[in-house]
Amino acid sequence: MERDRLAAFLDQIATRYHLVAPVAEDGVVDYRRVDDARRVVLDELSTVPPKTHFFPQTEELYSYSTVTGLEIKETVGTPAAVLFGVRPCDLKGFLALDPVFAGRFRDPYYWSKRERTIIIGLSCTTVQSTCFCQAFDGSPVNGEGADVLFTPLEAVYLVEILTSKGEQLAAEFSTFLGTEGVEEALRGKEALARELDGRFIRQVDLEGVKEKADRMFDHPYWRRLARRCLGCGICTFLCPTCHCFDVVDENRGDRTGLRVRCWDSCMFTDFTLHTSGHNPRPSKTERLRNRILHKLKYHLDRYGLHGCVGCGRCVAKCPVNIDLTKVIAEIREVD
């Protein structure tokens, strides 16, 4: 696809689907429904990951009324959507979330959106100083998890159709696509991949980390690390794979109300607080340990996938500079 045709392509998509793409507002880039392609941000990693499309920060599960007996109305009607501009690290984030919400016990709210969404990935053209996707077998041009992958080149986008959903979209909008110069574009993508692979500042070695993590649940290292932690939870709220949530009933006071699911964080004091008053994670030590081990051990134990994709958001935004790449290096060195 010629690069100058992208806006028209997206505007056409918006007439047939809910188009969700990264947009900027008040200095924050996140994924929202857009009707005008000129609002779409193409040149930076979003502040908030696109998991918000499948797992919204606040989501109504159902409404209820007891005015004339108990009536429950489920939230239904997920619209067909196209999620555009998802970076390779965030694509891998979807693959980490899928077994949580669509594994043995399928979450209908997550899965209904997942089934009715076509994902268009967007290869990176730069590597930020906080990126380390390579550590988790990622790449700035890896389309795994997308239905279609766009790779920006000098004058065109290489458009790779990866799934049957991608074939459906390509058939609908075939007038925007061409076949001339494909071999040259593929060579351009290969050259871009080689160039970007050499730009990573952070070299993260995971060898032996899982085995070390298996044995250090009670290690004093966690207490030392937790002395710096504020417990603010920003690392979890900006993570593409974190999925903790709470469920709240909101009573309007007129015998009607809502049941709402909203994000929560394992870094918060009351996340594991029992009704009895007992808390199995009573301090930041236990809570920070849980977050780190979830990324490097627990998710791997349960699903065969790391709970981290190396996007670097937690590294960039932690107010006290707790750097997961340094934590990994320190875990490798502890006795």
* pLDDT of 75 higher than 80: yes
pLDDT band at 221 (very low <50, low <70, confident <90, very high): very high
pLDDT band at 335 (very low <50, low <70, confident <90, very high): confident
Tokens of 138: 């990622």
**Mean pLDDT over residues 282-292, rounded?**
98
165 contact partners, CB below 8 Å, separation of at least 6: 118, 119, 147
* pLDDT of 99 higher than 80: yes
**Mean pLDDT over residues 158-169, rounded?**
98
Question: What is the pLDDT at residue 77?
Answer: 74
The answer to whether the predicted template modeling score (pTM) of the entire model surpasses 0.75 is yes
* pLDDT of 291 higher than 80: yes
Tokens of 73: 């109305």
> Which among 117, 109, 110 is positioned nearest to 74, based on CA atoms?
109
**For the chain, where are the alpha helices, taking DSSP H only?**
6-16, 51-54, 88-101, 108-115, 164-172, 182-197, 209-213, 221-226, 234-237, 284-293, 299-303, 313-317, 324-333
For residue 266, give Cα distances in angstroms to 49, 220, 292, 296.
Answer: 18, 20, 11, 15
pLDDT band at 257 (very low <50, low <70, confident <90, very high): very high
> Which among 89, 106, 143, 99 is positioned nearest to 121, based on CA atoms?
143
**Mean pLDDT over residues 44-57, rounded?**
97
Cα–Cα distance measured from residue 165 to residue 115, given in angstroms and rounded to the nearest whole number: 10
| Residues in a beta bridge with 129 | none
R_g of the chain computed on alpha carbons: 22
Q: Is there a contact between 30 and 16 (Cβ–Cβ < 8 Å)?
A: no
Domain range list for the chain: 3-197, 209-333
**Mean pLDDT over residues 199-211, rounded?**
95
Pairing relationship of beta strands 245-251 and 157-161 according to DSSP bridges: unpaired
299-327 pLDDT, tens digit per residue, is 999 999 999 999 999 999 999 999 999 99
What is the percent of the chain with per-residue pLDDT over 90, rounded to a whole number? 96
Question: What is the pLDDT at residue 264?
Answer: 97
**Mean pLDDT over residues 105-133, rounded?**
96
**Mean pLDDT over residues 110-137, rounded?**
97
Q: What is the mean pLDDT of the chain?
A: 96
